[in-house]
Amino acid sequence: MRIAITGTPGVGKTTVSKNLFEKLINLENNVKNINITEIVSKNQLYIEKDDEMNSYVIDFPKLNNFLELNTTCEDLIILDGHVSHLLNPDCIIVLRLNPERIFDRLSLRNYSEKKIKENVEAEILDVCLVESIENNVESKIFEIDCTEKSVLDICNIIISFLEHNTPKYGNVSWLEDYFYMLE
């Protein structure tokens, strides 16, 4: 089973995925935590590197093939990355965060102004959620506003979702309050 942990850069995917892995591995031994950026970089699963944005243009057929070869359908696979919802997941966790917090977190990184702005805009415009809905008719989608939540709380919410399997999304809306950040 593939669980995609998706969301705008800086929202907390890697932090949540690592903690979720630690919790799930106590319950089942076939859990894998895969950081998409790491495997793309290590195994050259990209078409080219975008130097301006300091990111990879992913080669999706290669990446899909790599995942097929390195996992089995018995595995409980956490896919950590902002494109994980494009990798045939069984369920998708869309992490959301107040755009001002995204701005603050990304400003702490060595990101260009352009990259910060693009990502803040993506969060305001629900890009990961919309892509998840558009590309996954069969998958279950669960959206979590992480703004005032600890990592532990977020992991517990995800585990509860995995147990009860009830999709929920569409209740996070930044556009009205943070429209000014698009200008």
Ligand X SMILES: Nc1ncnc2c1ncn2[C@@H]1O[C@H](COP(=O)(O)OP(=O)(O)OP(=O)(O)O)[C@@H](O)[C@H]1O
Could you tell me which residues are annotated as the binding site for ATP? 10, 12-15, 109, 149
In the sheet where 76-80 sits, what is the strand order? 31-35, 76-80, 2-6, 91-96, 140-145
The residue among 40 and 154 lying less far from ligand X, judged by its C-beta, is 154
Examine residue 14 and tell whether it contacts ligand X (CB under 6 A).
yes
User: Taking CB under 6 A as the rule, does residue 149 contact ligand X?
Assistant: yes
Rounded to a whole number of angstroms, the minimum distance from the CB of residue 72 to ligand X is 25
Cα distances from 167 to residues 15, 25, 93, 109, 163, in angstroms, run 22, 23, 10, 33, 11
128 binds ligand X (CB under 6 A): no
Q: Provide the CB-side half-sphere exposure for 30 (13 A, CA).
A: 9
Q: Does 9 bind ligand X (CB under 6 A)?
A: yes
Q: Which amino acid is at 168?
A: K
Q: With contact defined as beta carbons under 8 Å apart, do 182 and 122 qualify? A: no
Q: Which residues are annotated as a binding site?
A: 10, 12-15, 109, 149
d(CA 177, CA 154): 24
Least CB distance to ligand X at residue 82 (A): 5
Nearest to 84 by CA among 128, 114, 122, 48: 128
11 sits near ligand X (criterion: CB under 6 A): yes
**Residue 141 interacting with ligand X (CB under 6 A):** no
Choose, by CB under 6 A, the member of 10, 40, 111, 142 that binds ligand X: 10
User: Near ligand X by CB under 6 A, which window of 86-94, 124-132, 149-157, 160-168?
Assistant: 149-157
**Contact residues for ligand X, defined by CB under 6 A:** 7, 9-15, 82, 105, 146, 149-151, 154
